[in-house]
Amino acid sequence: MKKHYIYIASNDSAKTKILEEYLCKNIVKYYNCEIKSRKKYHKIYDFWDDLDSLTMEEQSNTLVIFDPGIYQCMPNSVSNTYQEGSTSNNYWHELGMSELYPWYELTLRYPLVTSTFLTFDEKKLFDGIKDIDKFCYINIKEKDCLNEQVKKNVKLFLYGLRTWFDPFGLRDYWREKVLIDIFDNKKEVNAPTEQKRKKVYCLEDELEYGMLDAYVSYKYGNNAMVVDSLKILEHEEAKVKKQAASQETSIVVIKDRDLRYRDMENKQDGRQRKELKMPNSVFSNRVSENNYEYITDLNKITLTISSDLDGMPTESMSIKKPLDNMYEFVEELNFTNKSQRTNMEIESGDGKGNHASPYLNMQLSKDMLEVLKTSEENIRDKIFVALLYLESYQILNKMAETTSLDILKKMHLAELEFVLSFVGIGKNQTIKQRKIDIEDDVKKLFLDKTNPKKLADSKKLIDSFYISFWDEAKVIYRKYEQFRAAEEANMEAMELIKW
């Protein structure tokens, strides 16, 4: 098992002492984020430096227990509308600095890091996100609540719960909240996102497959969780049953047919792992009558991905491993292009264009990519590379078209890299679906309702982008001996080059 890292970011000795009681000290690092003056910010940047020093693998196995109470003296706004001579309370801009509240920055800048937040005042910091999972924040008005929830969160983290693909929607919510204010949009800041995202559970004992399923689900507008241990499965199932008993619940389950989780041991022989059968489970293909009271309002879609589909019910949705390509289950599960994360709806307000700089999101987009320097040649890191480019593209929000195109290109190239190097994907690739995907992204980037000619006016820049992308894509196709796809990519580039 990989080494875990747990940071307690607080300057409250009483809270830290309580936390110490429940944590393994050999994997915990305490960080004093004390800021005595609201106009002194350098301490939190020391913490960012510590996180930046971690490799991609280390960040992905890091839990941060963050105490926002340190910053309660600061204003509850992320607006950057400060002008010279202003008496507004946007302190970081009065100092000529470009920074967010640390809890926003921690969540948005470090997508690979799993975070949970302590708060005394639930309404002040978390108003409007009542549906966000309790794993994300801990109301510590009472000591017992802190003890119980911290212990529970740390155990779930050690068993494998990660927020890489934003399973609880916190990153979605705070990204939207930050961008609305940055772009001076008139939409109500505290309003929940208008787009109802599906919750996708990816049940896999092979982590790489689970991450592939989760990445594609996340890219196509859903919130996804990789479930690669029995403890996490049991925890999430109990939560889904409880929700379904009180409200309509909609989930998608992408699962391996026979699961052999690492924390499942045969009672008769502790050395052997049994396969997991779930005939009475919310996550199974069929649910028995015994569970009927839990699922009357449960809207669930189940897709089985397995190398052995013999005996599967004919009416069941199923795909055989290895997958033909990363898009194979997108249409099957109705993950349509309309919900892709590359289609952001937040627009610049008050007539401001894409270059009303300085914008916090430009620097944030750049900062989150710094960890790419530590990427390794394994499938897990390759998926993280694509994820970070996707996150960077989302936070840019179509701003600075050349920079956005560059990040979009690198995201698609990173997807090619992990798809072609993963033995779980078939090795007879064509560029057809990739071409549709990237052209759809480009159209969305240049779509301007106020200027229908924008797409045509940008043709020279777009053609340059396609030439560059297909030229680099053909190299990746050749690297993995996909010569047919490489030739198709070469032809795409050649058609746009004027001799």
Instruction: For 64-98, give the secondary structure using H, E and C.
Output: EEECHHHHCCCCCCCCCCCCCCCCCCCHHHHCCCC
Task: Report residue 490's pLDDT band, with 50, 70 and 90 as the boundaries.
Answer: very high
Q: Over range 253-277, report the average pLDDT.
A: 71
Residues in the chain: 499
Q: Over range 178-191, report the average pLDDT.
A: 61
Beta-ladder partners of 139: 119
What are the angstrom distances between the C-alpha of 242 and each of 110, 157, 295, 439? Answer: 31, 21, 10, 42
Whether pLDDT at 218 is above 70: yes
- pLDDT, greater one: 300 or 59: 59
Angle at 176 (CA atoms; ends 170, 179), nearest 5 degrees: 135
Residue 212 token pair: 């592939």
Q: Which of 305, 280, 303, 302 is nearest to 292 (CA)?
A: 280
Q: Over range 477-485, report the average pLDDT.
A: 94
- Residues 79/94, Cβ–Cβ less than 8 Å: no
Integer Cα distance of 217 and 200 in angstroms: 7
How much is the pLDDT for 338?
61
Q: Which of 326, 324, 440, 334 is nearest to 382 (CA)?
A: 326
Whether pLDDT at 332 is above 60: yes
Q: Over range 16-39, report the average pLDDT.
A: 57
- The label of the residue with tokens 């991905």 reads 305
How much is the pLDDT for 334?
82
Integer Cα distance of 243 and 224 in angstroms: 17
Integer Cα distance of 89 and 100 in angstroms: 13
168-177, 267-276, 367-376, 471-480: the lowest-pLDDT one: 267-276
pLDDT digits (tens, 9 = 90+) for 380-435: 999 999 999 999 999 988 888 899 999 999 999 999 999 999 999 887 889 999 99
195 contact partners, CB below 8 Å, separation of at least 6? 221, 339
Integer Cα distance of 389 and 412 in angstroms: 9
Look up the pTM and report it.
0.87
Task: Report residue 344's pLDDT band, with 50, 70 and 90 as the boundaries.
Answer: low
How much is the pLDDT for 81?
38
Which among 53-67, 98-112, 167-181 has the top mean pLDDT? 53-67
- The label of the residue with tokens 């301490």 reads 43
Integer Cα distance of 204 and 254 in angstroms: 8
How much is the pLDDT for 358?
47
Which among 256-270, 350-364, 435-449 has the top mean pLDDT? 435-449
196-205, 224-233, 236-245, 458-467: the lowest-pLDDT one: 236-245
- Extended beta strands in 307-410, E state: 317-320
Residue 152 token pair: 């529970």
Backbone angles phi, psi at 16, to 5 degrees: -60, -40
**Could you give all domains of the chain from N- to C-terminal order, each with its CATH number?**
1-182 (3.40.50), 190-343 (3.40.50.2300), 371-496 (no CATH)
Q: Which helix (H) or strand (E) holds 253?
A: strand 249-255
